[in-house]
A and B are shown apart, each in its own frame.
Chain A
Amino acid sequence: MPSPTLAGFEHKVVVGIAELAVSNNQNVTLTTYSLGSCLGISIYDPVVKAGGLLHIMLPDSTIDAGKAAAHPAMFVDTGVPALFRAAYQLKAEKHRVVICVAGGAQIMDNSGFFNIGARNFDALSKLFGEHSLKIHADQVGGLVNRTMHLNLATGQVRLKVSGQNQETILCKSLTTT
């Protein structure tokens, strides 16, 4: 039987498009809606029970330096470093964080002109490769709109696909609370 949780105190924090949030508050669940071709990237350090969620929209900040300065979470190359820096402030450590990724949906197109979802994931994979970071679990691509939740007490990551009723677990609980 699972241990009782303080459900009454659970607090949902919504991470908007081109935003990020980190927390080590055990009552918080970070949620991001509207992952179309965008990517949701969660990181969680089970030792200090701290983590964050990032909702990037585009692969490359060089298309608009001004926007990147004002909203680093809009782009892969500025958002991911910002997410990690914010989590480090909460004593998360790079070698311990568990990374999950969801989103990057694609329309049916062979031309490559409309493949923003794939370009987002390519840019992320390249960046992670350069920093020797591994994705623990992902659900990327496909034809669906997704919602992603990160529970900060446990590190559990849940996904909800638009049009479906039940959620799936992308990453099971990492801590025993």
Chain B
Amino acid sequence: MQELDDYIDKVKNLPTAPKILPELLALLEAEDVDSERVVRLIAVDPALTANVLRLCNSAMLAGASPVGDLQEAVTRLGFKQIFQIVAATVGSQALNPAQTGYGINRGELWKHSVTSAVAAQLLAQRSGENQTAVFTATLLHDIGKIVLTEAVEQVYAKLLEDVKDEQTTLLDAEKRLLGVQHAEVGGRLLARWKFPASIVSAVWHHHHPAAAQPHEKLAAHVYLGNMVAYFIGHGYGHQAFAMSGRVEALDLTGIDAATLPHLMIETLEQLKTVEKLFNVT
């Protein structure tokens, strides 16, 4: 744990903790969601408020009258979509920059994250898993890469050699060369940011969902969402496909392998409708 914290503490430009996300998640967990508290929470941050209103209006159907304030936005779009817009605004700030150590250009990690989250949420619609939790965990699953990118840059020649010659996964190569890997660093970072244990665990184990017990089902959604994003080509960087196949993720989410192609098609279609909303280019 200390090693994870050391890496996190070393990062110079870590984004500020997105405190609003865990707080919003907690509010939305309630049976009777208090919309005034949701509005108050978002309104604390004027830049976020402006962005939420702008994105709400771009999400509206053409011809609908524009949303004027947050309360109206919440009423018209509903909590789930407002939460996604807030998550997208906060998430893109952290995930949009280039991650040079991993060979990821500006905008690519964000595109990968959104694609993964869309795929995982579509999967959750089939499985009945909590869609907001699945969306959040999957959107943030690679947050550890922003912590490790500098360290990876120092060792990446060796890392790529390991992957090529020994057919080892990127995750194992990171662990061997740095002592830590991006999934556990990401999980630890989200724990420090006070995200719920389920999301922390799903991110921590997103390459090995069975290890996320008792949150293995959530982790399996993240795993498959991530994989679908790679399949449809929204996964970037050095040897990006060097990840293990985890058949148990299918059992945990209750789908069979024949469903994956359908999930790819649905993800591609869904992306076309949300690209603007999530500022994906």
**A interface residues with partner B (beta carbon < 8 Å):** 17-18, 33-38, 57-58, 63-64, 67, 74, 105-111, 113-114, 116-117, 142-145, 162-164
Contacts and interface: CB of A to CB of B under 8 A. Distances in A.
Contact of B237 (A35, A67, A163): A163
B240 A33 contact: no
A11 B260 CA distance: 36
A164 B239 CA distance: 10
A36 B103 contact: no
Contacts of A145: 230, 233, 235-237, 240-241
A18 B268 CA distance: 9
B227 A114 contact: yes
Contacts of A57: 232, 264-265, 268
Interface residues of B, number: 34
Contacts of B232: 17, 34, 36-38, 57
A40 B231 CA distance: 13
B180 interface: no
Contact of A143 (B163, B231, B257): B163
Contacts of B268: 17-18, 57
Contact of B261 (A17, A63, A109, A162): A63
Interface of B: 102-104, 108, 163, 167, 169, 227, 230-245, 247, 250, 257-258, 260-262, 264-265, 268
Given A18-B268, A113-B257, 7 more contacts: A58-B265, A105-B230, A105-B241, A106-B241, A107-B242, A142-B241, A143-B241
Contact of A111 (B236, B237, B247, B260): B247
Given A143-B240, A144-B240, A163-B104, A110 B245 contact: yes
Given A109-B245, A111-B245, A163-B240, A38 B261 contact: no
B231 A37 contact: yes
A107 B265 contact: no
A172 B158 CA distance: 32
A114 B238 contact: no
